């Protein structure tokens, strides 16, 4: 099952490995993301969920976007992205996704 969440870069830091070498790492604020919309194979031709991340004033979004969030019953988000999943029925509108959907040591693809 494809999994994903939205996040933003907080900054850079370093960690030390077992040999004492400094390794540069990127600190990311990952989630929580709210499911705003579900897309199903029957209705839309593919399975996906639409995620919102970040807080924004209700007046900072356009009326059509505000109506989209209001129809979903969630507060407006700064970022709105769609992620394809294997089964959108596992998610509900308004569900919150956090970084705990990933396991420690798991490799992830990051796009920016």
> What is residue 101's three-state secondary structure?
helix
The pLDDT, as a whole number, for residue 17 is: 95
Terminal-to-terminal C-alpha distance of the chain:
22
1, pLDDT greater than 60: no
Q: Per-domain residue ranges for the chain?
A: 7-101
**Residue 43 pLDDT more than 70?**
yes
- Give per-residue pLDDT as tens, 50-109: 999 999 998 999 999 999 999 999 999 999 999 999 888 888 999 998 888 888 888 888
53: left (phi over 0), alpha (psi -120 to 50) or beta: beta
Distance from C-alpha of 103 to C-alpha of 76, rounded to nearest angstrom:
29
The CATH number of the domain covering residues in 7-101? 3.30.160.810
The structure tokens listed for 105 are 């040591």
Banded pLDDT at 110 (limits 50, 70, 90): confident
């Amino acid at each position: 099952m494809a999994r994903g969440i939205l996040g933003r870069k907080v900054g850079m830091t370093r960690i030390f490995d077992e040999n004492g070498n400094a390794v540069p790492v990127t600190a990311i604020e990952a989630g929580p993301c709210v499911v705003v919309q579900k897309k199903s194979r029957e209705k839309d031709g593919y399975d996906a969920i639409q995620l919102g991340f970040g807080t924004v004033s209700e007046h900072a979004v356009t009326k059509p976007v505000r109506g989209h969030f209001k129809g979903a019953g969630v507060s407006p988000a700064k970022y709105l992205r769609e992620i394809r999943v294997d089964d959108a029925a596992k998610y509900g509108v308004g569900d919150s996704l956090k970084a705990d959907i990933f396991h420690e040591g798991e490799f992830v693809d990051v796009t920016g």
